[in-house]
């Protein structure tokens, strides 16, 4: 089955803004992969996504796939990460980019983020590695048009560059929430990370706002309660968090999603609880985990 966002291998891919790379999140053993942080440079002004909430009308947005890439901002002269760190790219790569500012992600393909993050942090780029990736563009920073018009301009800018590795993130419309959830399910089943929604009439504005949203599935899993951690502040004198142990033996504290009654009478040690989470840390621990329920005894 063809991917809903890709018409051919090096055509415009449906991507989305939103993947955020945190410098230093992964240990790098290769001595050529040392962080090339420019401490004197401030982070670029970029648009950042909030999480989508139910009740938002997706018909007012353009939707694309959220890729697990490395955020890369081109200011017309230098390629930089979200933190402002210079990304050392080959000369043939940067010399082919237009003078227009671009915002997008470096992308190797699904499931390749760890390798890509190492490539993007090298002091000296490896030419063969860079010939494998694509620079997926989703916005024109600083442009005065609405997002719908910026997408039109962006397609022309990228077409004029005539580089197969420089591609535009394809945007599409969805009529309602049911269609959005169906698209999310299809994207995830095909190996994608999620979706990004950008309001069509929104002007470019840096920072986090409701005009740019990301939608990812929230899987749920079970873990065993091994301890009750005491609360502080308003939770003084009752449970503040559960110390949970996953099936692989890893432990983490779960402190959100509880009603006051559950904090006063928490799930007993030894019981299984179900929690939701958005994604995992490099060490495999759940991010943004929230209590869902106690599993009923079998």
For residue 250, the domain's CATH number is 2.40.50.140
Q: How many Å separate Cα 97 from the centre of its chain?
A: 24
- Looking at the fold, whether 171 and 231 belong to one and the same domain comes out as no
Give domain status of residue 21, yes or no. Answer: no
Give domain status of residue 18, yes or no. Answer: no
Average pLDDT, whole number, for the chain? 86
- Looking at the fold, whether 190 and 279 belong to one and the same domain comes out as no
- Looking at the fold, whether 147 and 186 belong to one and the same domain comes out as yes
The pairing of strands 166-168 and 194-199 is unpaired
Using the predicted structure, report yes or no on whether residue 139 has a pLDDT greater than 90: yes
Higher pLDDT, 47 or 279: 47
Q: Which residues are catalytic?
A: 66
Last residue of a domain, one of 215, 236, 251: 215
Q: Which domain holds residue 262?
A: 220-294
Give domain status of residue 196, yes or no. Answer: yes
SS3 readout for 90-135: CHHHHHCCCCCCEEEEEECCCCCHHHHHHHHCCCCCCHHHHCCCEE
Using the predicted structure, report yes or no on whether residue 17 has a pLDDT greater than 60: no
Using the predicted structure, report yes or no on whether residue 142 has a pLDDT greater than 60: yes
Supply the pLDDT for residue 20. Answer: 31
Q: What is the pLDDT of residues 28-81, one digit of tens each?
A: 334 344 444 444 578 999 999 988 887 899 999 999 999 989 999 999 999 999
Closest C-alpha among 138, 286, 262 to residue 212: 138
Between CA 200 and CA 180 the distance in angstroms is 16
- Looking at the fold, whether 69 and 189 belong to one and the same domain comes out as yes
Last residue of a domain, one of 188, 215, 242: 215
The number of distinct structural domains making up the chain is 2
- Looking at the fold, whether 87 and 66 belong to one and the same domain comes out as yes
- Looking at the fold, whether 187 and 235 belong to one and the same domain comes out as no
CATH number, domain at 60? Answer: 3.30.470.30
- Looking at the fold, whether 211 and 230 belong to one and the same domain comes out as no
Give domain status of residue 242, yes or no. Answer: yes
Q: What is the mean pLDDT of residues 77-99?
A: 96
Using the predicted structure, report yes or no on whether residue 13 has a pLDDT greater than 60: no
In DSSP terms, 287 is beta-bridged to: 279
Last residue of a domain, one of 185, 215, 245: 215
127 is written with which tokens? 């030419």
């Amino acid at each position: 089955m063809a991917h809903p966002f890709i018409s051919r291998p090096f055509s415009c891919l449906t991507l989305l803004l939103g993947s955020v790379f945190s410098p230093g999140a992964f240990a790098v053993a290769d001595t050529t992969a040392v962080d090339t942080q420019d401490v004197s440079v401030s982070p670029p002004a970029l648009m950042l996504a909030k999480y989508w909430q139910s009740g938002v009308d997706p018909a007012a947005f353009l939707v694309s796939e959220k890729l697990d890439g490395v955020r890369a901002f081109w200011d017309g002269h230098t390629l930089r990460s979200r933190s402002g760190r210079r990304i050392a790219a080959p000369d043939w790569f940067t010399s082919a980019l237009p003078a227009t500012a671009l915002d997008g992600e470096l992308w190797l393909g699904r499931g390749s983020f760890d390798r890509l993050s190492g490539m993007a942090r090298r002091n000296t780029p490896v030419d063969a590695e860079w010939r494998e990736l694509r620079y997926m563009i989703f916005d024109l920073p600083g442009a005065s048009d609405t997002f719908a018009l910026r997408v039109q301009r962006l397609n022309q800018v990228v077409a004029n560059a005539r580089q197969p590795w420089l591609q535009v993130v394809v945007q599409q419309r969805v009529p309602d929430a049911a269609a959005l959830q169906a698209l999310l399910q299809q994207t995830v089943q095909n190996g994608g990370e999620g979706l990004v929604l950008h309001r069509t009439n929104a002007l470019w504005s840096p920072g986090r706002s409701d005009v740019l949203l990301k939608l990812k599935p929230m899987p749920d899993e079970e873990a065993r309660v091994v301890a009750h951690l005491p609360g502080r502040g308003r939770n003084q004198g009752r449970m503040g968090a559960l110390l949970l142990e996953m099936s692989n033996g890893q432990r983490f504290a779960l402190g959100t999603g509880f009603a006051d009654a559950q904090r006063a009478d928490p799930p007993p040690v030894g019981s299984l609880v179900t929690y939701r989470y958005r994604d995992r840390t490099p060490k495999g621990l759940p991010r943004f985990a929230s209590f869902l329920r106690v599993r009923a005894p079998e």
